[in-house]
Chain A
Amino acid sequence: MLKAKSDNHGGEDYLRYLENEKKISDQIIDYSRSMITIINRKYGYEKANATFCRAHRMLTDSIVGRSLGDIWGENTFKAYIKKNIDECFAGKTVRYEASFETPGLGIRYFEVIFRPLSTGNGEVTHLLAETTDIDDLIHSRKAVIEKEEEFRTFETNLPIGFLRVDPEGKIIHANRTFLRIMECGEEVPVLGINVRDFYVEQGIFEMQLDQLAEFNTRSFGRVYLRNCKGREIPCRLSAYVALDDNGRTSYIDFALEDSSRELMLENRLLQAQKLETIGALAGGVAHDFNNILATISGYAEMLQEDLKSDNNHYKKASRIMSAVSRGLSLTKQILTFSRQVEQEKVPVSVAEVLKETIGFIKPVLPSGITIKSKLSKNVVWVLADPTQLFRIFLNLMTNAFQAMEEKGGKLAVTQTVVEGRSVRSELNKDIVADEYVLISFKDTGKGMEPSLLKRIFEPFFSTREFGKGTGLGLSVVHGIVTEMEGEILVSSEKDKGSVFNIYLPVLKYTAEPLAGEKRKKILFFSGNKHESRILIIALESSGFDLISANDSDDLYSIFTEPGNSPDLIIYMADTEMIKQEDLAGLYNELKIETPCILITDPDHGVIEENLLNSGIIKQHLLKPVSLRELRDAIQFAIK
């Protein structure tokens, strides 16, 4: 800054000095990148710098003395400029941004500042107008805003949770996906919370910080976080530390993904592989065991042949035979679980089997337990062995009742049809059937812990007391469903109950009477109409004519009626209603020679020796009887 000199330098010198000073300040003003003008109260230009003149492509002289209306156009002046100038003349500095056109620059964005200039007595006589081209600035500012906006949208829509925390772990920012995964609602309540509070396991966060600092580890694999609703979520976590100029942590960014589904699929695959392995192993054992059983039963049979039936030892040989039968029923179950038994499948209506199963179980329902079923009205067909279907339904219902044994409860059985593609991800199958019938068993029992839930389909895994059941039940169910190209899914909550969902591919089928060549007539003789109904359904679908008898009176009338005699009798000896001697007696009395297949329950009921020794029984089967076994036996019995 030049300093004013004292008067004693003489008038001329001083004038020259002043002139010099003015020239310098004019130059400074002219070189300014802003347009600078001085405007008087008549809205006329009294001064304009070179930048202004260049912008307007005019000489200084042709600007000075002219009014603003003249230069900018009367309308523009009145609409946009005048009120700002008036405000400035009132003593205020006015600053605004506007876009307008000048002949030299075209349309650009400017910052305009009007500063009041006053004389010594404070009266504003002029104003200083300074107009600066800020077009580039505005554009880059806009670009930054747009980029920011773009990034925000990207970050919001990203399927990855994003979190920024300060070096202590306090949350500075959380994106929407993070809030969604963690079920936290709005961002605001999360801010300021320490991220370590989300960790299920203490100390993990600190460990990760150490790893970040020491090894620059970015990915931390799977970590369990407890979300705002208290649920534990398996998350895949990675992090990045931003350092300041001094090398200190300035903030930490976390990216996290909800890996619940991934984990679920992983677990399911693992389970399937495990079951496959156990199945192969158990199947091999069952095979060798069957060889051993064959040897044992062969010798026992020879023993029986050698001994008279009234011999003391004869009974012992019979006991060996029944032990073999039990062994066989075990190996059969193992082979069913490991899907090494081919099922004989026929078209069967799911609802019909469900109804019979419910009918079968209702009379033995413990008090306090109710069963409610909702079955679809349309007949839904699946390709299955009805006896196997009965078995899985019975097994799941019995399990449900056992789960509700202590407190009572309700079992809801529903049957619906779902589209294959709508359950593709649930079934985790690449290829799905067009439609599935979903049979759901929902109980209000004691439920299961997740650790238990994982293992229920494993063979020999039982929660019941030792000695009660073989622990094969659910593994066999799993084997049958898988063999049918279906899927069984289970969910459970401790103390709330469990849901077993079975998906079976729907068969497009219309029931038609089978071609009527000479069909074999089978008399089914059993006291339990529900259980026998299942076998009757199975046999009818396989092309046999069935008549059923529920007591010895029925039997009597069938055999005494001429032209009605069956080719075979199947006798399911499991009820109080039919005494075993009734059959033997009837055979004797009516001199019946029809071959008979006997089906008994290995768990209860001693078979009358005299029935077995009467020569009536051509085949003796043990429950559960599959359609294949039954057909093989029929083929053997009717030559």
Chain B
Amino acid sequence: MPGILIVEDDLELREMLRISFARKKFTVLEAENGRDAILHFKPSVTDIVITDLIMPDEDGLKVIMKLKEQKPSIRIIAISGGGKVGPGNYLNLAKALGANAVFSKPFSINDLMIKIDELLEPEQHD
């Protein structure tokens, strides 16, 4: 059962993500901002992280850097709704900092699942 950490400050969106991942038999962990995510990060039970980028108390970029530091094999997907400070740049930056995939809000849950499946597949050596 893969463990997923959802870092999102929008309560309703976080709830929706929690439900949809629970349905897919993920172990779901939640954090409502970057600081909590970093502080309470459990590397042993977290395989994948979905993080918003623009949040109060440490943004998603910090989350990506800190968690990658603690667990280099962690898979991270950054999600952003655009606006405020240039999401295009933010998503690019997230990629540059090590996010494995980026999604703009709103996104298709189905696409997100496909991406996660792909990221969790054991690495192929060919």
| A contacts, CB < 8 Å to B | 283-299, 301-302, 305, 324, 327-328, 331, 335, 338, 340-343, 619, 628, 636, 639
Contact = CB atoms under 8 A, between A and B. Distances in A.
B7 to A, nearest CB: 14
Given A294-B16, A294-B81, A302-B23, A340 B105 contact: no
Given A290-B105, A301-B110, A302-B23, A340 B13 contact: no
A290 B54 CA distance: 13
Contacts of A290: 81-83, 104-106
Interface string B93-126: 0000000000011111111000100100000000
Given A293-B105, A298-B17, A340-B83, 7 more contacts: A287-B81, A287-B83, A290-B82, A295-B13, A305-B23, A341-B87, A342-B86
Contact of B106 (A283, A296, A305): A296
Contacts of B10: 291, 295
A324 B109 CA distance: 13
A415 B45 CA distance: 61
Contacts of B13: 291-292, 294-295, 298
B69 interface: no
A294 B106 CA distance: 4
Q: Give the interface size bracket for B toward A.
A: 20 to 34
Contacts of B85: 340
Nearest to A288: B81
A286 B19 contact: no
Interface string B1-34: 0000000001011011101100100000000000
Nearest to B112: A298
B105 A342 contact: no
Given A291-B10, A291-B13, A335-B87, A298 B82 contact: no
A335 B91 CA distance: 15
30 contacts: A283-B82, A283-B83, A284-B83, A286-B81, A287-B82, A288-B81, A289-B81, A290-B106, A291-B13, A291-B105, A293-B105, A294-B81, A294-B105, A295-B15, A295-B16, A297-B106, A297-B107, A297-B108, A298-B13, A298-B106, A302-B19, A302-B20, A324-B106, A331-B82, A335-B83, A335-B87, A338-B83, A340-B83, A341-B82, A342-B86
Contacts of B16: 294-295, 298-299
State the main secondary structure of chain A at its contact with B: helix
A476 to B, nearest CB: 14
Q: Which of B15, B16, B83, B111 has the most CB of A within 10 A?
A: B83
Contacts of B111: 619, 636
B18 to A, nearest CB: 10
Given A342-B86, A342-B89, A301 B108 contact: yes
B125 to A, nearest CB: 16
Contact of A335 (B23, B82, B108): B82
A305 B82 CA distance: 28
Contacts of A340: 82-88
B92 interface: yes
A319 B14 CA distance: 23
Contacts of A342: 86-89, 92
Contacts of A335: 82-83, 87
Q: Which of B16, B54, B85 has the most CB of A within 10 A?
A: B16
A283 B83 CA distance: 5
Contacts of A298: 13, 16-17, 20, 106, 109
Contacts of B54: 287
Contacts of B104: 290
A290 B79 CA distance: 11
Nearest to A342: B88
8 tightest CB-CB pairs across the interface, nearest first? A342-B88, A287-B83, A290-B81, A293-B106, A294-B106, A283-B83, A290-B105, A298-B16
